[in-house]
């Protein structure tokens, strides 16, 4: 067993025994050394005395040279068993006698050596001179073994061993009793330490023992346990609060709005700190007051006793809350001692301890955390520090929630702006595309419009059905022209110079029904589908202000969409009604188009107004509802869409009622003066348009000369100036190859500044809206031209002094 694992009692006994043994060994060694040296000297001294005695007795034998007497003297050495040899020499070195006799035959030293006694070669040797009356007569040589010394030492060692054994036995018996005085307190401390270590129970204390040193050791050990217990308690509290802080921080990280963030903080405080009342307040700088934002879920009863509710305001100066708004944590151990209304509420409600922690972000307090307990002075310093740290985390989380909300709003605004920009970009692209084809479309429909108006005006023999059909064709042509003009500017606000007119919605519904009858009736029946049309028109419906063409076109698109949404047939309902909002102050006209078709899901309903978005596949363009929405925007109207899958769709257009008509006093229509016969130069590269317009103008009695290009028109006008007759005015197209209408107008004005120039173009409405009328142009007319506009323009621009009665000439011509 090693020294590290040997029991303390055995260790103490071993220490005691080893100490005793070491003492005995040292003592015995000292005695042995002393005896050894002393006994050697004693033995040497005894041999010297013996030698002197033998030498004295040998003087007679040497004097008479008697070897026999000499041997007899030496034989007395038999009494000394340790003397192993003796010799008597004469002065001349001759051996006279020896002891024992056998030594005479043994080799003897030639000379006895120097006088004196000494230890040599394991023997004690002595040379003693034999002297009589001061005269040396011979020499005595003695030789003794060391047996006597060895025997003495053996005896001494035996006694020492017995004494040592006796000492060990006595030490063992005594240490067995005395080691308990030391080992028992130590073992008791060890048992207590083991119990503390195994059970992790630092409330255990060691029993105090007698003895100053052991008492001090026990007291120090118990004091150490007390400190460890206190540290463990504080550490456990800190870990609990840290875990609570972690849970609160984790919970607040998943919330991005202040009320839910505050609620989760207060819930954890009430459950785990715990507190009897907790709430969050937000500082309102404008009122210099704290507004209660959220009260803890378990604090409702206390809040009732405190007469506090969410959204209540607490003035700062009147309630001693300025310190907290300065960024300082306020702790009131006993609210009964505070003479301000806010702490007094807590005192009256039985809440004695109050902590108010600031919510500080970037050195600015935007709110406070209020926590209270019923017992006085019940918040410890670590708990106050925890509330301070918690308020910092809550403030940071709240600030991040506010930033997140602001960022989310900014992101939503940016996304909406991006979507709006993308939508506007798509609309701009569509408008540019429409502008590119507007000229060709307007040129194509201009002859139809002119001949239709001419037939309605000049053919009195037409049947009623023929006139109705021609009127529908004229209306359709006007709608096409207006549609082409609007395609470039889907969502642009209505231009100020485009004047709205009064529109009768019920009459407009009847027109749309007739315009779309082929789609919802004839074509549907060809497919074996029956669509029932229902009209629910309000009586005495007031007029609205708007563009009749645009509204009619929007209703046409809505009917087409409704028919497409009923592939198996159904009911198509057109409805008008008059509603009032805000009492009777504001009246509105509602026009509804409803179907019983397949309906739309939420995603389709949300995106149905986007340009080019369609669910019809190749059959759809995605522009119908977009154009409807553009019309609504231009009319400052409202659009509502109600739809559900398999339950149909209802689209509601809401217009403001037009102001009543107040006839102006004395206002009379100005009669149109009859036109003079005019010489007109018509410049256009479209032969169909020039032919139709020439026919119409010639029917009115005018002389029309046609030039099929810009340069040819300039040459024709210049030649007329030189050789006559001159032209009364010039009508020119804008978009022509090589020389366009602007250059034609500039050239005409350069040679004849007073000759009126009329620009007839498919871009006419856009030029007027954008105030982009060419400098040398007197009037702009849009394609397709209307006879009334053309005649009014000719009447306004006809040169003064032109002769002839247009009535007579035109009458003759018509005849």
Domain of residue 261: give its range: 255-379
pLDDT digits (tens, 9 = 90+) for 89-133: 888 888 888 888 755 444 555 567 788 888 888 788 889 898 888
Within this chain, do residues 571 and 700 fall inside the same structural domain, yes or no? no
Of 656 and 404, the structure prediction assigns the larger pLDDT to 656
Residue 92 lies in a domain: yes
Domain of 76, CATH number, reads 3.30.450.20
Mean pLDDT for 544-548 is 90
Segment 342-351 shows an average pLDDT of: 88
251 pLDDT higher than 80? no
- The answer, yes or no, to whether residue 810 has pLDDT greater than 50, is no
Lowest mean pLDDT among 44-48, 290-294, 369-373: 44-48
754 shares its domain with 646: no
Q: What residues are paired with 544 via a beta bridge?
A: 503, 657
Q: Where does 296-431 show beta strands of DSSP type E?
A: 313-315, 330-332, 353-361, 364-373
Residues 521, 558, single domain; the answer is yes
Question: Cα dist. 632→215, 509, 629 in Å?
Answer: 100, 17, 5
For residue 194, what pLDDT is reported?
77
Please report, for the chain, how many H helices and E strands are present, in that order: 23, 23
pLDDT at 218: 76
Starting at the earlier edge strand, list the strands of the sheet with 779-782: 703-707, 679-683, 729-732, 757-761, 779-782
Q: What does pLDDT average to over the chain?
A: 80
150 with 281, same domain? no
* Alpha carbon distances (Å) from 575 to 149, 533, 538: 152, 11, 8
What was the pLDDT predicted at 109?
58
Burial class from Cβ neighbours inside 10 Å (0-12, 13-18, 19+) for residue 184 reads middle
Q: 117 in a domain, yes or no?
A: yes
Same domain, yes or no, for 686 and 776? yes
| pLDDT, tens digit, 9 for 90 and up, residues 87-99 | 888 888 888 888 8
Domain boundary among 379, 413, 435: 379
* Interval 571-586 mean pLDDT: 82
Q: Indicate whether 636 and 744 sit together in one domain.
A: no
Where does 273-380 have alpha helices with state H? Answer: 300-306, 322-325, 341-348
Tell me the per-residue pLDDT of 499-510, one tens digit each, with 9 for 90 and over.
578 999 999 999
- Single residue among 155, 183, 210 that ends a domain in this structure: 155
Q: Are 38 and 201 in contact (CB under 8 A)?
A: no
Residue with tokens 């509204």: 551
pLDDT digits (tens, 9 = 90+) for 132-175: 888 888 898 888 888 877 887 788 788 878 888 888 788 778 77
Q: Are the CB atoms for 639 and 655 separated by under 8 Å?
A: no
Distance between CA atoms of 344 and 772, rounded to whole angstroms?
Answer: 77
For residue 811, pLDDT beyond 60: no
Cα separation values, 413 from 409, 422, 572, Å: 6, 14, 39
Residues 369, 262 share a domain = yes
Residue 714 counted as domain residue: yes
Please say which residue of 155, 175, 210 terminates a domain: 155
Compare 687 and 430 and report the one with higher pLDDT: 687
Residue 84 near residue 14 (C-beta atoms within 8 A): no
Q: Which of 608, 571, 577 is nearest to 591 (CA)?
A: 577
Q: Which of 319-328, 580-589, 668-677 has the lowest mean pLDDT?
A: 668-677
Is residue 515 in some structural domain? yes
The CATH number of residue 583's host domain is: 3.30.565.10
CATH number, position 727: 3.40.50.2300
CA gap 629, 554 in Å, rounded = 9
Q: Does the model's pTM come out above 0.75?
A: no
Question: How many domains in the chain?
Answer: 4
Give the pLDDT mean for 305-325: 81
Residue 465 lies in a domain: no
Give the pLDDT of residue 682.
Answer: 93
Greatest Cα pair distance, the chain, in angstroms, is: 222
Tokens of 683: 């410049």
Q: Does 463 map to a domain? A: no
Asked whether residue 513 carries a pLDDT value surpassing 60, the answer given is yes
pLDDT of residue 155: 83
Which tokens is 492 given?
Answer: 């642009």
Q: Is residue 470 part of a domain?
A: no
Say yes or no: 146 and 283 in one domain.
no
129-138's contacts with Cβ under 8 Å and 24+ in sequence apart are: 129/55, 130/55, 130/56, 130/58, 130/59, 130/62, 130/88, 131/55, 131/59, 132/59, 132/63, 136/91, 137/59, 137/62, 137/63, 137/91, 138/58, 138/62, 138/88, 138/89, 138/90, 138/91, 138/96
Question: Do 634 and 696 sit in the same domain of this protein?
Answer: no
In this predicted structure, what is the pLDDT of residue 112? 72
Residue 686's Cβ-count burial label (10 Å; 0-12, 13-18, 19+) is: buried
Q: What is the pLDDT of residue 815?
A: 23
Q: Where are the alpha helices (DSSP H) in 533-623?
A: 548-564, 602-607
Residues 644 and 687 in one domain: no
pLDDT score at 812 = 33
**Which segment of 57-61, 71-75, 396-400, 519-523 scores lowest on mean pLDDT?**
396-400
Percent residues over pLDDT 70 in the chain: 82
Q: Which runs of consecutive H residues, i.e. helices, occur in 77-146?
A: 102-105
Q: Looking at the structure, do residues 634 and 686 belong to the same domain, yes or no? A: no
DSSP H helical ranges for 200-340: 212-253, 258-272, 300-306, 322-325
- Residue 273: which CATH number? 3.30.450.40
Of 153-167, 483-497, 607-621, which one has max mean pLDDT? 153-167
Residue 673: band (very low, low, confident or very high) from pLDDT cuts 50, 70, 90: low
Burial of 741 (0-12, 13-18, 19+ CB in 10 A): buried
Residues in the chain: 815
What pLDDT, on a 0 to 100 scale, did the predictor assign at position 191?
Answer: 76
Per-residue confidence (pLDDT) for residue 396, from 0 to 100: 82
The arithmetic mean of pLDDT across residues 220-233, rounded, is 77
Of 112-121, 373-382, 765-774, which has the strongest mean pLDDT?
Answer: 373-382
DSSP label at residue 672: P
Q: What is the pLDDT of residues 441-487, one digit of tens each?
A: 777 787 887 788 888 877 888 888 888 888 888 888 777 776 666 55
643 in the same domain as 520? yes
Residue 661 in domain = no
Mean pLDDT across 188-203: 76
């Amino acid at each position: 067993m090693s020294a590290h694992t040997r029991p303390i009692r055995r260790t103490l006994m071993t220490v005691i025994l080893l100490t005793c043994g070491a003492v005995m060994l040292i003592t015995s060694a000292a005695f042995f050394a002393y005896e050894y040296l002393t006994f050697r000297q004693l033995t040497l001294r005894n041999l010297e005395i013996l030698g002197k005695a033998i030498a004295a007795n040998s003087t007679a034998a040497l004097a008479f040279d008697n070897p026999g007497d000499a041997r007899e003297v030496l034989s007395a050495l038999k009494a000394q068993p340790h003397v192993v040899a003796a010799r008597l020499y004469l002065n001349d070195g001759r051996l006279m006698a020896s002891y024992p006799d056998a030594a005479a035959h043994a080799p003897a030293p030639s000379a006895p050596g120097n006088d004196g006694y000494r230890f040599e070669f394991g023997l004690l040797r002595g040379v003693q001179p034999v002297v009589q009356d001061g005269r040396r007569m011979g020499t005595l040589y003695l030789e003794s073994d060391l047996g006597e010394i060895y025997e003495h030492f053996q005896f001494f060692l035996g006694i020492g061993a017995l004494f040592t054994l006796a000492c060990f036995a006595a030490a063992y018996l005594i240490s067995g009793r005395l080691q308990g005085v030391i080992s028992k307190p130590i073992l008791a401390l060890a048992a207590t330490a083991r119990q503390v270590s195994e059970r992790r129970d630092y409330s255990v204390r060691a029993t105090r023992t007698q003895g100053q040193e052991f008492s001090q050791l026990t007291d120090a050990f118990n004091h150490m346990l007390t400190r460890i217990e206190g540290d463990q308690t504080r550490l456990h509290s800190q870990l609990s609060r840290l875990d609570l802080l972690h849970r609160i921080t984790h919970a607040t990280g998943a919330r991005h709005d202040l009320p839910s963030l505050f609620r989760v903080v207060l819930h954890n405080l009430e459950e785990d700190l715990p507190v009897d009342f907790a709430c969050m307040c937000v500082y309102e700088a404008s009122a210099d007051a704290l507004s209660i934002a959220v009260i803890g879920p378990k604090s409702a009863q206390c809040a009732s006793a405190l007469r506090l509710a969410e959204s209540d305001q607490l003035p700062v100066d009147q309630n001693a809350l300025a310190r907290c708004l300065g960024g300082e944590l306020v702790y009131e151990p006993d609210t009964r001692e505070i003479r301000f209304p806010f702490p007094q509420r807590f005192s009256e409600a039985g809440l004695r301890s109050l902590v108010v922690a600031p919510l500080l972000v970037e050195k600015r307090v935007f709110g406070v955390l209020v926590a209270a307990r019923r017992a006085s002075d019940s918040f410890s310093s670590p708990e106050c520090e925890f509330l301070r740290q918690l308020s910092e985390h809550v403030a940071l989380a709240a600030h991040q929630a506010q930033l997140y909300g602001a960022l989310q709003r900014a992101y939503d605004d940016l996304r909406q702006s991006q979507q709006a920009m993308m939508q506007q970009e798509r609309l701009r692209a569509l408008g540019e595309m429409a502008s590119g084809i507007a000229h060709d479309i307007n040129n194509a429909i201009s002859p139809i419009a002119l001949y239709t108006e001419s037939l309605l005006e000049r053919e009195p023999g037409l049947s009623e059905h023929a006139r109705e059909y021609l009127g529908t064709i004229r209306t359709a042509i006007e709608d096409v022209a207006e549609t082409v003009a609007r395609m470039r500017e889907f969502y642009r606000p209505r231009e100020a110079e485009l004047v709205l007119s009064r529109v009768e919605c019920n009459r407009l519904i009847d027109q749309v029904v007739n315009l779309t009858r082929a789609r919802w009736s004839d074509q549907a029946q060809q497919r074996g589908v029956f669509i029932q049309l229902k009209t629910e028109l309000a009586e005495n419906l007031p007029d609205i202000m708007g563009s009749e063409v645009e509204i009619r076109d929007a209703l046409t698109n809505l009917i087409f969409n409704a028919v497409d949404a009923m592939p198996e047939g159904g009911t198509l309902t057109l409805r008008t009604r008059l509603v009032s909002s805000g009492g009777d102050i504001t009246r509105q006209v509602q026009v509804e188009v409803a179907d019983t078709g397949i309906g739309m899901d939420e995603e389709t309903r949300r995106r149905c107004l986007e340009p080019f978005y369609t669910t019809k596949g190749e059959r759809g363009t995605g522009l119908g509802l977009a154009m409807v929405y553009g019309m609504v925007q231009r009319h400052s109207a409202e659009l509502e869409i109600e739809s559900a899958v398999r339950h149909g769709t209802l689209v509601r257009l809401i217009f403001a009622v037009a102001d009543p008509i107040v006839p102006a006093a004395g206002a009379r229509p100005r009669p149109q003066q009859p036109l003079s016969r005019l010489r007109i130069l018509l410049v256009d590269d479209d032969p169909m348009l020039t032919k139709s317009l020439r026919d119409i103008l010639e029917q009115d009695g005018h002389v029309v000369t046609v030039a099929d290009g810009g340069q040819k028109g300039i040459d024709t006008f210049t030649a007329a100036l030189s050789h006559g007759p001159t032209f009364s005015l010039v009508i020119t197209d804008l978009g022509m190859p090589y020389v366009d209408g602007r250059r034609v107008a500039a050239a005409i004005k350069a040679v004849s500044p007073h000759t009126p120039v009329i620009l007839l173009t498919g871009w006419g409405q856009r030029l007027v809206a954008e105030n982009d009328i060419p400098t040398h142009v007197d009037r702009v007319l849009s394609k397709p031209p209307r006879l009334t506009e053309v005649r009014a323009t000719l009447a306004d621009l006809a040169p003064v002094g032109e002769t002839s009665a247009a009535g007579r000439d035109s009458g003759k011509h018509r005849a």
